[in-house]
Structure 1
């Protein structure tokens, strides 16, 4: 997979981008486990991308829900045994 970051919201700790092979948009949040820091990538629609790019309340709510694992059905990759915690 080729994730191409388009926007990084460092203050809110998420990024938005486009995954080229599947032609899908994503929102990514940083994670850390006992071995490595990494990102979890969540599929989002173009409409969501357009809403989230400003970092407004819609984005903040969605990011917090992802951190609480409420959108695991949207993950590009299923979590492993040593799933990290949000940074």
Structure 2
């Protein structure tokens, strides 16, 4: 899968983008486990994608819910047994 970030928020450590193969929109943020650092990608619809580009507070609220694992059903790639913690 190829993920292309279209918006990066370095202060809040998240990105918005498009998964090139499927055309799906996503929110991503870095996570870390004892072996490596990686990104978790959460699917969002186009309307949410456009909203988050203009409303950073709404995006941060969503990202924080993802970090607390409240929206795991939206994960594009399911984590394995050694799931990381948000950075």
Question: What do the CA deviations read for 1:24-57 (whole angstroms, capped 9, x no partner)?
Answer: 0000011000010000000001111111113522
1:41-56 to structure 2, matched below 5 A, reads 41-54=41-54, 56=56
Q: Give the CA RMSD over aligned residues.
A: 0.9
Residue 2 (structure 2) aligns with: 2
Runs of 4+ in 1 over 4 A off after TM superposition: none
Is 1:24 aligned to 2:32, yes or no? no
Q: Note the residue ranges of structure 2 that are not aligned, 5 or more in a row.
A: none
Residue 69 (structure 1) aligns with: 69
Q: Note the residue ranges of structure 1 that are not aligned, 5 or more in a row.
A: none
Question: What do the CA deviations read for 1:50-76 (whole angstroms, capped 9, x no partner)?
Answer: 111135221111011000001110111
State how far apart, in whole Å, the 2-side matches of 1:45 and 1:15 are.
Answer: 15
TM-score by length of 1: 0.95
State how far apart, in whole Å, the 2-side matches of 1:34 and 1:24 are.
Answer: 30
